[in-house]
Structure 1
Amino acid sequence: MYSFRELQKARSINIDGKETRLAVLGNCATQFFSEALEGFGKLTGLNLSVYDADYNQIDEQLLNPSSEVFSFEPDQILLWLCTEILYEEYLDREFSERSHFAESYIQKLEHYWECIKRYSNASIVQLNFTEIDDKALGQYSCKVDATFVYQIRKLNFLFQESASKNSRVYPVDALAVQIDLGRDVYFNAPLYYNAKVPVAINALPFLGRAVIDVLKSIMGRIKKCLILDLDNTLWGGVIGDDGLAGIEIGALGKGHVFSNLQRWIKQLKEYGIILAVCSKNEEDIAKEPFSKHKEMILSLSDISVFVANWNDKATNIKLIQESLNIGMDSIVFLDDNPFERNLIREKFPDIEVPELPKDPSTWLGFLQRENYFDTVSYTKFGSDRTKFYQAEIERKKLGQTFETIDDYLKSLGMIGEAKHFEPFWYSRIAQLTQRSNQFNLRTVRYNEDEIQRIAEDRHYITLYYTLRDKFGDHGLVSVVILEKIANDELFVDTWLMSCRVLKRGMEEFVINHMVQTAFDYGFETISSEYLSTTKNQMVKDIYETMGFSRMSDHTFRLNISSFQKLKTYIQEEHKNGEK
């Protein structure tokens, strides 16, 4: 972890790329915190510019649409309501009102959120509440609703419930930081009473990191895949030497350590993280615990790509990455062997490789604290991701049996469907705008509220696309947002697509449908733009390939009357189910 001094110095680092503007408001002194955030952002590659509002100016800034904060035009607004100030407000209330403190305070928060939504397009980054147990009634305090410990815990619960219903709010778990460090490390009484800074200087980097993790997730810098070693990582021992009965796994002894690690990994899979295996082993032997060991938590059905052979792990990880068609910076690699960890770090510096402690019993806590899989969205469709990738492996195996790509594509029996945005899909569409990086022409991020607003705005035409074939359903694979910028012209505000359906004719299917939709609405031209990022270079020429004319380095135009329908083997399914 960086020191506070290191973070202060890092603020002067020049970072290329789009600037991210963050405004920080608190009921406490936030200057040191803002400095830590800006420095931490620079050290992690974010071109972060921070506006630090004056002390305790939340009302003055958020209730005034012309305030300095709103004039700053931030991408995110961070709110920090420190518990120490809340405690003083609680004690200043009449005793009879204290049992309603949490309810009244959550109303205040929701009012702040509404003001931000009304006067700004900024996302809201909100710290939850650390705890003070004043022991007014000793241990009995947690049973009496008028005590502060009861109210602050209730406030955190109400905050969670309210934030879960507001897609613009992104929580930061300051309480978890306090618990991990301990109250005596997190809080420095002289610093608070002298300067109204509620976090010790040495603890500021830890809180800053929690915020930066959220900001990176908002910007789509997330981990999507966990690649796992097997021997002495998922279980104790070596399956090839010790045999099925000799490996350590289960409720007894050291096996409990590996079982709990597997439980956590399975939970990641259920929330949409892709699991892969990379093991130096005979494949049949490596798979044996998954299919035959009764205390194994993970099953083969949880693993999207299973690679076990005697090749070096760098080669195999490259194979896994290409099979999944994800970026190297989306991967976390877990291996007990220092040699293998160093090899992957040297070969693929973008891959996150945890330096596991020597004692396996500490691994789970270590991995949870490192917070590799922070995200800003979740939908139930994430749990189906493993099935998508397993089916994709079968498609690739089939593709190897055909002499031409056309014959292979014909054999898939692909059916595409296009529809206007529907409420059922708002969260999934928002998630795709936040997570898609490679096939994303402008990389504009939207939250669920913004997707709903666009879907209901007559100045936009919104389209989502699904695809299925004989191996299964890919689900929602592409999103298009067309803005009506003139009576005869549409602008492609957003075009993104899942990389798992690349080179199947889906690009052509989307363009064909987009052009037909524009024609049906009476438009004559479609203009578009490609905004370059470090991750979307693969689509820099896509518009020209699809028949658009280049107007400048990054803008394109298509005259609908001259468009020639593109070749694709995807049949369109219409509303009545006909193809």
Structure 2
Amino acid sequence: MTAPVTTRPGPADRAEALDRIRELHRSGRLAAEFPAVPGLLASLAHGPTASADLTRVGRLLARVDAAEIHARHPDAVPLTVTVSGHGTLDALTGPLTAELARHGVPLHAITGDHDSWLRDLRDTAGPLYATDTDLSLVVLDAQVLFDELPLPWRVSDVTDALTAKLSLLERLAARYVREGSGTLVLNTLPLLGTHLRHLVDHRSRTELSIAWREFNTGLLRLALTHPRLHVVDLEPLVAESGPVRDSRLALYTKEHLGAELLGHYAREVAHLARAMRGRTKKVLVVDLDHTLWDGVLGDDGPDGIEMAGSYRGEAFAAFQKTVRQLGSQGVLLAVCSKNDQEPVERVIAGHPDMVLRPDDFVAVTANWHPKDGNLRSLADRLNLGVDSFVFADDSPFECGLVAASIPEVAVVRLDEEPALHIDRLLADGWFDTRELTEADRARAGQYRADAGRRELLDGAATMEEYLRALGVHVTVAPATEADVPRLSQITLRTNQFNLTTRRLQPADVHALLDSPHHLVLAIRSRDRFGDNGLVGAVFAERAGDALRIDNVLLSCRVFARGIEQAALGALLAHARDTGARAVLAAYRPTAKNHKVRDLCPSLGFETAGTSEDGALDFRHPLTELPAIPPHVTLQARFIS
């Protein structure tokens, strides 16, 4: 079979990317061309010079006003980050700016004075506690302990200091969570060999190591206690980045954490920010030949490909195990391969060495069409945006095609060394989320159930016939504490059916649940093919004699089934029954939520105001309520 050919420019290589960014800087067009920056930075993010390259580029980007970028590109909302610490942290700004820019987020950084961390954390009127602060980074190092020790010191002195410091940090974290509005980011403290070698006996060194690890463990546990506290564990980052510090810079300029380690720290912070902004990826699309197995199926046949039992085969088996591990945590797995469909399906279903099996995938696409088109078709089939996709392939051409044609897709370029496939796939934490829910674990099965729904739709004469046969059941009820992680996740990750795109962290949802003036409703659905679980939410607030809807959200998996009409119809009836004279709502446009622009008018809301950016305000007079769709069985329960 002759494969269709698509010719497009590939992504820029390292030298081209650097030259392009420098040229944009020289010409003063970095703000105007900011949407192109993530693609250029993707060419710099890995390899032996990545740390230096990103730092260099980040310094240029840091000179651009984040507000100007936002003014030119409304979807590029700046992230306000305060930085405070014990040592000198000048080396953090560059990589942090670059790592956030890789995800389309401009940085607005506010840096504290040298060794001002304790004063900053105590100052509830300071920048760490400001209402517009998104992340408050308090970057600590081992010297914060050793600088306070008497001379000479013993292990008992360190243990006492560690206990006191942990208690202090616990009190300060509790205050921040109580009075701040952002997320506080702390980190574990690396213990250096130099510190241990101040002790000459092995027993004392062992005791110090144990005490130090217990302190770091206690610090990590704080993140499990406080919903708006995140602790970056520096230990695995040190293993990746090499020396913690340069001893000369540590002594002369108080740089107690080295530039490369701070670069890795900046990447972890960017992953956290990406999750907070709802930009976590949802789908991993993998190639087959030289990606999941060694060899070319069309040339070597099923018996000639390897994924176990040989030097290279074991590397592919390990990669498959990693992919399956991701799939078990809610990442949707799919195949996109230049192959014939039937042989591929036989191998996935029956090859004795395959780790991944048909039930692990929501889609297997094997044909000779261009892969960019296949990815777009898959996105339509899953009802997801292509910006939810990560594409892993060993072919430079295919990676270049997808990167150039669909820049929203995160491209993981694999190569001829399969032992590095795992590292390359996991390096950017594309699927990182604040908290995994049971809905995440069930997601793949729910998408596979959609195959039955598609078959039913294809066989129906009309949409009405399909919906009647589907048997949609909708439950609308006040949310519970157990629903909080999922509700927060819906606000963070739902982009298409999202009226106002207000993002809520778990602590924000908790606060709304605890407020007597707010109404938080969980929307659940099921049909003849299974239980879809918690698929949507309504956030509303009593405002005088009106009920104001702050946001309405619905998972893209269940669009166009009448669920939103049923849920809002129930809410309008509840508002009227409890004495409200009107229900207010708003639509705030983004690049992705145009589908819900007409939702309110379709339910009888009147337009009460418009703005130049396309935002709309609505009012429902409650004189005539919309009918519940006849194919929906609705159960609605409210607390008056």
TM-score category of the 2 structures, normalised to the smaller one: over 0.9
Pick the aligned partner of 1:557 from 596, 619, 622.
Answer: 619
Return the alpha-carbon distance in structure 2 between the equivalents of residues 400 and 38 of structure 1: 48
What is the match of residue 35 of structure 2?
none
Structure 1 range deviating more: 85-94 or 320-329: 85-94
Task: State whether residues 145 and 158 of structure 2, in contact with CA within 8 Å, keep that contact through their aligned partners in structure 1.
Answer: no
- Match of residue 512, structure 1, among 544, 549, 569: 569
- Decide whether aligned partners of structure 1 residues 475 and 291 sit closer, same or farther in structure 2, where only a CA change above 3 A counts: same
Task: From the superposition, tell whether residues 385 and 3 of structure 1 become closer, same or farther in structure 2 (CA, over 3 Å).
Answer: closer
Whole-angstrom distance in 1 between the partners of 2:220 and 2:324? 24
TM-superposed CA distance for 1:59, in Å, is 2.7
Instruction: Confirm or deny: 8 A CA contact 1:135 1:141 kept in the other structure.
Output: no
The one of 500, 525, 528 aligned to 2:582 = 525
> Is the alpha carbon distance of 1:270 and 1:131 closer, same or farther for their aligned partners in structure 2, counting shifts above 3 Å?
farther
User: How far apart are 1:102 and its partner, in Å?
Assistant: 4.5
The corresponding residue for 1:444 is: 502
For the residue of structure 2 that corresponds to 1:23, the secondary structure is: strand
Instruction: Report 1:214-253 matches (<5 A).
Output: 214-253=272-311
Whether the aligned pair in 1 keeps the contact of 2:85 and 2:140 (CA below 8 Å) is yes
Q: Is the 8 A contact 1:10 1:43 kept in 2?
A: no
Deviation at 1:538, TM superposition (A): 2.3
Inter-partner Cα distance in structure 2 for 1:113 and 1:555: 39
Residue range with higher mean Cα deviation, 154-163 or 397-406: 154-163
Match for residue 15 of structure 1? 69
Distance 1:367 1:39 in 2: 20
Match of residue 70 from structure 1: 129
Residues 82, 135 of structure 2: 8 Å contact kept:
yes
C-alpha contact 1:131 1:175 (8 A) present in aligned 2: no
Please say if residues 174 and 226 of structure 2, whose CA atoms lie closer than 8 Å, have aligned partners that are also in contact: no
The count of aligned residue pairs is 571
Could you say which residue in structure 2 is the equivalent of 1:49? 108
Whether the 8 Å contact between 1:142 and 1:150 is mirrored in structure 2 is no
- 1:432 paired with 2:490, answer yes
What fraction of aligned residue pairs are identical, expressed as a percent?
27
Supply the AA of the counterpart residue of 1:119. E
Which residue matches 2:236? 176
Q: 2:556: which partner in 1?
A: 499
- Kept in 1, the 8 Å contact 2:196–2:205? The answer is no
Partner residue in 2 for 1:125: 185
Q: Give the CA deviation at 1:51.
A: 1.1
Q: Which residue of 2 aligns with 1:4?
A: 55
Greater displacement, 434-443 / 203-212 = 203-212
Partner of 1:194: 252
Counterpart in 1 of 2:118? 59
Between the aligned partners of 1:251 and 1:492, the Cα distance in structure 2 is 59
> How many Å separate the matches in 1 of 2:247 and 2:392?
40
The CA distance in 2 between the partners of 1:463 and 1:398, in whole Å, is 30
Conserved in 1, the CA contact under 8 Å of 2:188 and 2:233? yes
Check whether the contact 2:128–2:180 (CA below 8 A) recurs between aligned residues.
Answer: no
Select which of 152, 156, 160 maps to 2:212: 152
Question: Which range is displaced more, 85-94 or 20-29?
Answer: 85-94
1:393-437 residue CA offsets vs partner (Å, 9 max, x unmatched): 221121011111000000001111111011111111112122212
Match for 1:310 among 362, 368, 372? 368
Moved more, 38-47 or 191-200: 38-47
125-134 vs 351-360, which moves further: 125-134
Between the aligned partners of 1:299 and 1:140, the Cα distance in structure 2 is: 51
Of 313-322 and 35-44, more deviation after overlay is shown by 35-44
1:437–1:535 CA contact under 8 A, matched in 2: yes
Contact 2:562 2:632 (8 Å CA) reproduced: yes
TM, length-normalised to structure 1: 0.92
TM alignment of 1:358-373, pairs within 5 A = 358-373=416-431
Match of 1:27 among 86, 105, 112: 86
Q: Against the structure 1 CA distance between its residues 159 and 203, is the aligned structure 2 distance closer, same or farther, given a 3 Å change threshold? A: closer
Query: Measured at CA, do residues 515 and 82 of structure 1 come closer, stay the same or move farther in structure 2, by a change above 3 Å?
Result: same
How big is the shift at 1:90?
5.7
The alpha carbon displacement at 1:390 in A equals 0.4
CA distance in 1, matches of 2:626, 2:131: 46
Cα pair distance change 1:319/1:198, threshold 3 Å = same
Gaps of 5+ in 2: 1-49, 611-615
1:343 aligns with 2:401: yes
Would you say 1:333 and 2:391 are equivalent positions? yes
Aligned-partner Cα distance in 2 for 1:217–1:294: 38
Q: Determine the C-alpha separation between the residues in 1 that align with 2:296 and 2:150.
A: 60
The alpha carbon displacement at 1:138 in A equals 8.0
TM-score, length of structure 2 as denominator length: 0.84
Q: Determine the structure 1 residue equivalent to 2:221.
A: 161
The 1:59/1:300 distance shift into structure 2, 3 A limit, reads same
Alpha-carbon offset, residue 215 of structure 1: 1.1
Q: Given that residues 509 and 568 in structure 1 are in contact (C-alpha distance below 8 angstroms), is that contact kept between their aligned partners in structure 2? A: no
2:155 and 2:239 map into 1 onto residues whose CA distance is 29
- Alignment counterpart, residue 478 of structure 1, candidates 520, 531, 536: 536
CA distance in 2, matches of 1:143, 1:377: 36
Give the residue type in structure 2 aligned to 1:527. Answer: L
- Stretch moving more, 248-257 or 317-326: 248-257
Q: Is the 8 A contact 2:58 2:93 kept in 1?
A: no
Shift of 1:71: 4.3
Distance 1:42 1:256, change over 3 A: closer
